[in-house]
Every structure is written in structure tokens, then in C-alpha cells.
Amino acid sequence: MGRVMRGFGVISGPLGRFLYPPVCAGCGGAVTRAAALCAPCWSGLHFIERPYCEVLGSPFSFDLGRGFLSAEAIAEPPVFARLRAAVIYGDLAGRLVASLKYSDRTDLVPLMAGWMSRGGRELIAEAGVVVPVPLHPGRLFRRRFNQSAELARALAGHERLPFAPVSLRRIRSTRSQVGLGPQERLANVRGAFLVPPERADDIRGRRVLLVDDVFTTGATVSAAARALKRAGAAEVDVLVFARVAADAR
């Protein structure tokens, strides 16, 4: 361990910065520090700010007053209480998510989790435990890590909240949601999650902050929230890095 830490010190010190200069997390261009974005990439991110729907966190084009809900939240109230996202899913946000998920860019976790912490401040203030959306064990073995768990771990550590990475399990292997329609997505994840009886005390009576990387139609987090509520969660809020714009789904 000491040898590893000394090696890390070299890499993170002046010699390391000379040999491995920091690059933009979005485009790979030169930047002044690691885990940062260059100015053009920064301007390409659409951070979600108020006004937005108090339930689904979808941004409004003009201020309708605090507490106003979107037509979608009124017509189809979600299983979870509230959703917040740091950014709107677009080209750059998609590249960041893909780099973390498929290219082992875990160095992006502090950057992305920091933005999530800012976007989900009110949810974090009321959270009793942080739970990531789990991968099925087979997919976790192939991918080697769960990107949602790494984001949740960073959030919980920074905010000093209990972290329960194994309190929710994916008990059924499902197809990737990519390319599926809304109804297919719902059917794909129905009954896919379970809180094991031996982990129920982690959840019971607590307000759970459920963490995922991307919100598209809400099928996955809704199925996960149902399992958490069946296990006795007082309520479930959802915090994601990026959400697809309501008019793009």
C-alpha cells in the first residue's frame, strides 16, 4: 500500500502533471487542472436551475411560481416523491455518462457527484440513507463496477450520510433500456428489484435518496422506488446526474 501511495504521489505531483498533463473531461483538450472542463465544453452543459416542476424537476421556460407542478406530474404522479437532476442530457452530458459507464473513467465521479450535490441540495438535506440503483450481478461482473454506486458513494461521503450499496438488489437480469419504448421499459424492469429481508432495517422508516446516472422515462427508478417502499421506506427521492428533457422522450 505504501508503494502504491508513493506512486500516486509522484503522479499527482509536479512530475506527474508534466508526464500526464490534465485534459478536459469533455473533449480531451488541455486544461489547468484534472477533472475539469474547458470553457467551450462548460458552455455546452445545461445545468438545471429553478423554475422547475417541484416533483419531476423538469425545467420550465418561465416562472410559474414556487410549488407549481408540470402537467406530467399531475396526470401521472410518480411512485417517488421528488426527482432532481444536475444537467439536461445532451451531447456532452452523454459523453460524460458513457465515459464513466463504459470507459472506466472513475476520475469523473467527483466532478459529476459535485454537480449532483448542488442540484439535489434540498433532497440531500432530508435524506436518511443513500441507495444506488443496482446492477444485476452478471452485468456487474462484466462491467467491473456500478457507475450509480460510485456516484452515490461520493455523494454520501461528501454529505456524511449513511450509504447502503447492498440494501437494494436487482434480482432479475433485464435487457438494456436503450432503444426500448416507454411501455417496454416498464415491462422490462417490473419486479426486477428487491430489498433483502436482512437489509430491511437499512431502509425501514427512512427517507431514501435513490441515486442513478440518467433519468429517461423513469421506469427503472420507479421500479426501484416501489421495492424500497414495500420494504418500509418512509419516502423515496431520486437524484440523477442527467435527465432527458421532457419533450425529448
Number of domains in the chain: 1
What digits encode the pLDDT tens for the residues 60-94? 988 877 778 999 999 999 999 999 999 999 999 99
Residue range(s) defining the domain that contains residue 167: 66-248
Whether a cis peptide bond, with omega within 30° of 0, leads into 51 is yes
8 lies in a domain? no
What is this structure's pTM?
0.87
Q: According to DSSP H, which parts of the chain are helical?
A: 2-12, 14-19, 39-43, 71-75, 91-102, 109-119, 121-126, 137-143, 147-159, 182-189, 200-203, 219-230
236 lies in a domain? yes
Q: Which residues, 6+ apart, have CB-to-CB distance to 208 below 8 Å?
A: 127, 128, 129, 130, 131, 228, 233, 234, 235, 236, 237
Kindly report which listed range (39-43, 151-155, 197-201, 238-242) carries the lowest average pLDDT score. 39-43
103 lies in a domain? yes
Cell of 160: 456524511
Rank 99-103, 171-175, 177-181, 199-203 by mean pLDDT and report only the highest: 199-203
What digits encode the pLDDT tens for the residues 144-165? 889 999 999 999 999 999 999 9
Which string of b and e fits 66-86 if b means at least 16 CB within 10 Å?
eeeebebbeeeebbbbbbbbb
- The enclosing domain of 193 has a CATH number of 3.40.50.2020
47 lies in a domain? no
What digits encode the pLDDT tens for the residues 182-212? 677 766 677 789 999 999 999 999 999 999 9
105 lies in a domain? yes
State the pLDDT at residue 67: 79
136 lies in a domain? yes
